[in-house]
Chain A
Amino acid sequence: MKVLALGLLAVCVACGAIVQGQGYYGGGGYAPYGASYHSSTAGEGYARGMADVVRSAGDYNLRTSEAAKNYTDARSQDLDNRLKYTQNYFEMRRINKEARAAEQSPRLSNEDAFRMARQAAPRPLTSAQLDRLTGSIDWPLILRDPQYTALIEPLNQLFVERASGTAAPDIYLKVQKSAEVLQAALKKNINSYKSGDFIAAKKFIDSLEYEARFPVGAGA
Chain B
Amino acid sequence: MRVSTYAVVFCLGLVSARALHAQEQDVKRLAATLTAPDKNERLRAADELAEFGTQAKAAVPQLLTALTGADADLRWHAARALGAIGPAAVEAAPALVKALTDENALVRAQAAQAIGFLGSKSPQAVEALVTRVTDSDARVRRAAIAALQRLRPGPKVVLPLLAKVLDDADPSVVMPALQSLAEVGADAMPTLIEALSYPGGRYWACLVLAEMGPKGKAAVPALVKLLSDKDPEVRMQAVITLGEIGPDAKSAASDIIKALSDEHGGVRYGAVYALAKIGAVESLPALAKAGAETDPFLQVLAPWAAAKIKPMDEGLVRVAVERLITGLKSNDANVRRAAARGLFELGAGDQAVAPALVAAMEDPDPTVQGNVYTALASLGAKAVPRVVQRLKDPKSRERALRILTIMGPEAKAAVPIWKRCCGARMPQLATRCYSPWPRSVQAVRPLCPR
Residues of A at the B interface (CB closer than 8 Å) are: 2-3, 6-7, 10-11, 14, 17-18, 21-26, 34-36, 40-41, 43-44, 46-51, 53-62, 65, 67, 79, 81-82, 84-86, 88-90, 92-93, 96, 101-102, 105, 108, 112, 115-116, 119, 126-129, 131, 133-134, 138, 164-166, 217, 220
Contact = CB atoms under 8 A, between A and B. Distances in A.
B367 A57 contact: no
B338 A54 contact: yes
B55 A23 contact: yes
B91 interface: no
Contact of B211 (A48, A60, A82, A93): A93
Given A57-B334, A58-B265, A51 B83 contact: no
Given A54-B301, A133-B110, 5 more contacts: A25-B53, A35-B436, A61-B269, A62-B266, A128-B84
A65 B12 CA distance: 73
A212 B200 CA distance: 30
A122 to B, nearest CB: 15
Contacts of B337: 47, 53, 56-57
Contacts of B84: 24-26, 126-128
Contacts of A59: 233, 236, 266
Contact of A127 (B83, B109, B270): B83
A88 B98 CA distance: 34
Interface stretch (B43-51, B61-69, B411-419): B43-51
7 contacts: A11-B12, A25-B84, A51-B244, A105-B438, A108-B438, A129-B51, A217-B179
Nearest to A101: B439
Interface residues of B, number: 81
B32 interface: no
* Interchain residue pairs A-B with the least CB separation, the first 8: A58-B266, A23-B53, A128-B47, A165-B172, A57-B334, A61-B265, A85-B171, A62-B266
A57 B266 contact: yes
B308 to A, nearest CB: 9
A67 B438 CA distance: 47
A157 to B, nearest CB: 16
Interface in B104-121: 106, 109-110, 113, 117
Contacts, number: 204
Contacts of B50: 25, 126-128
The SS class assigned to the B binding surface is helix
A67 B176 contact: no
Interface string B435-450: 0111101000000000
Given A44-B367, A58-B265, A112 B171 contact: no
A165 B171 contact: yes
A41 B335 CA distance: 19
A6 B436 contact: no
Given A3-B5, A119-B436, A134-B106, A164 B338 contact: no
Q: Which of A47, A57, A108, A165 has the most CB of B within 10 A?
A: A57
B83 A89 contact: no
B94 to A, nearest CB: 20
Contacts of A131: 80
Nearest to B337: A53
B219 interface: no
Nearest to A13: B12
Interface in B316-342: 334-335, 337-338, 341-342
Contacts of B5: 3, 6
Interface in B124-166: 138-139, 142-143, 146
B52 interface: yes
Nearest to B51: A126
Contact of B233 (A34, A82, A88, A127): A82
Contacts of A57: 266, 269, 297, 334-335, 337-338
Nearest to A64: B265
A204 B243 CA distance: 47
A54 B240 contact: yes
B8 A7 contact: yes
Contact of A92 (B53, B179, B210, B345): B179
A51 B139 contact: no
A10 B9 contact: yes
A126 B366 CA distance: 36
Contacts of A46: 367
Contacts of A65: 264-266
B16 interface: yes
Given A51-B244, A134-B139, A56 B175 contact: no
Contacts of B143: 133
A7 B1 CA distance: 12
Q: Which of A24, A26, A58, A89 has the most CB of B within 10 A?
A: A58
B267 A58 contact: yes
